[in-house]
Amino acid sequence: AGDGEKDVLPHCNLQVYTYTCDVGKRENVYLTAERVRKEVGEVSVLVNNAGVVSGHHLLECPDELIERTMMVNCHAHFWTTKAFLPKMLEMNHGHIVTVASSLGLFSTAGVEDYCASKFGAVGFHESLSHELKAAEKDGIKTTLVCPYLVDTGMFRGCRIRKEIEPFLPPLKPEYCVKQAMRAILTDQPMICTPRLMYMVTFMKSILPFEAVVCMYRFLGADKCMYPFIAQRKQATNNNEAKNGI
């Protein structure tokens, strides 16, 4: 279905409405939210899932790509939440889901903009959760979703140490969706997939920085994004050559 169109899922007889919106632009978010309210009704479950990655080392990354990453991965959460939270507060009912990343809990080299945006999304989500609790709006639930590398092609080329890869393979999107849905339906505040990510986050919080560096080097996580960045750079160069730039 296209923008503003209605479709029907035959196997469950549900109507699905789809809209196109640049979530990095708050005016677009607010206008689309108003359309949704008029054409569909109030939103009771908000899933902030839009995400982009530039795929450049910091000093090689154009400023506009850094801004785009921050606007889509982080700022958009403010606009969508401001658009739909008021009715949730009025009804004391709803659920806000933040799809962040394991790179919103710990970082690695070469993706400074992406890590910053996801850390921002995690911080936003945690502060919002505390605000709802402080307001005693217990009917509004929040769930933070932090998956490891998902096999969608977004980070194609990313590699950890080959001896470790069998124990930490890229996650299938279907598995991540299943885990996230289970967390949402059971009102789980946070879900990390796989569970090993909880341990990595905990170790990062208690170990000295140099010990964390050693752990990264053992796992091959210190430069895991470098092959991905190299592939993106090669693809960009090929496109420029093809277009005669």
Q: Which residues are catalytic?
A: 114
* Rounded distance between C-alpha atoms, residue 136 and residue 23, angstroms: 29
Cβ(156)–Cβ(228) below 8 Å: yes
With H, G, I as helix, E, B as strand and everything else as coil, classify residue 166.
helix
* Rounded distance between C-alpha atoms, residue 203 and residue 194, angstroms: 15
In total, the chain counts a number of residues equal to 245
Count of CB atoms within 10 A of residue 57's CB? 15
Cβ(145)–Cβ(100) below 8 Å: yes
* Rounded distance between C-alpha atoms, residue 202 and residue 211, angstroms: 13
CA distances from 192 to 26, 121, 143, 171 (A): 29, 15, 11, 12
